[in-house]
Amino acid sequence: MKKKAVPKNDKKTIPVKPNAKSTDKGTLGNQDYYLKMVELHVEKANLRKGPAVDFPIIATIYRTQKLICLSNIGNWAKVQTDKGLVGFIRSDVLKISNNP
């Protein structure tokens, strides 16, 4: 009786990247801001209809505006402004707000 050949697993193991290092601006590479009050660490940024630069700009957000993060999609955060406007902003320009 012949033994059946067992197929080899051709999938290569992908190493896990170490945790992102904190920067001097108080952010992490791809930090989860879910349901947290966030603010910009840059002067201003564009709020877009979707999570890419191809989507139209719906507003300009300034450093003084408070935002609530509703979800994270890759390097983008879906946020809601204090006026109720919802859109996407790059998560690398955000930091957790120190002011409630």
In a domain, 29, yes or no: no
Query: In the 8-state DSSP scheme, what is residue 35?
Result: T
pLDDT of res. 43 = 96
In a domain, 18, yes or no: no
Q: Do the beta carbons of residue 91 and residue 38 sit within 8 Å?
A: no
The residue range of the domain holding 55 is 37-96
In a domain, 12, yes or no: no
pLDDT of res. 54 = 96
pLDDT digits (tens, 9 = 90+) for 24-82: 333 344 556 677 889 999 999 999 999 999 999 999 999 989 899 999 888 999 999 99
In a domain, 92, yes or no: yes
In a domain, 28, yes or no: no
CATH of the domain at 75: 2.30.30.40
DSSP-based three-state secondary structure for 96: strand
In a domain, 82, yes or no: yes
Sheet holding 94-96, edge to edge: 57-62, 44-48, 86-90, 76-81, 67-73, 37-40, 94-96
- pTM of the entire structure? 0.66
Domain count, the chain: 1
In a domain, 7, yes or no: no
In a domain, 48, yes or no: yes
Q: Which residue has the tokens 């955060």?
A: 77
